[in-house]
Amino acid sequence: MIDRLIKMLFRCSHKRITLPITPPTKPGGPVGQAYVVCLDCGGQFAYDWNAMRMGERINSPEATAEEESKKWASRRLRRSE
């Protein structure tokens, strides 16, 4: 709870970001979505080449896996109590 409050008050401004990255694809395959990564918080954001701006946050596979592991850990704790 305190962690959420601190994050809400002192959010990352995403000022330091990487250059746009486009995931590699197989030859002849569809081109992947370009994205940038914040160097401070590690958040991944879609990148629009036409406007040359950051877009919406992308849920990375690592973040999704972390959320799943937390969900399973909380279930295990409930069962053991």
> Looking at residue 5, what is its pLDDT?
66
pLDDT score at 59: 79
CA 74/CA 70 separation, integer angstroms? 6
Say if residues 37 and 46 touch (Cβ distance below 8 Å): no
Q: What is the pLDDT of residue 11?
A: 80
Tell whether the model's pLDDT for residue 57 goes beyond 70: yes
| Residues of the chain above pLDDT 90, percent | 25
Q: pTM above the 0.75 mark?
A: no
Mean pLDDT of all residues belonging to the chain: 77
**Averaged pLDDT, 59-80:** 58
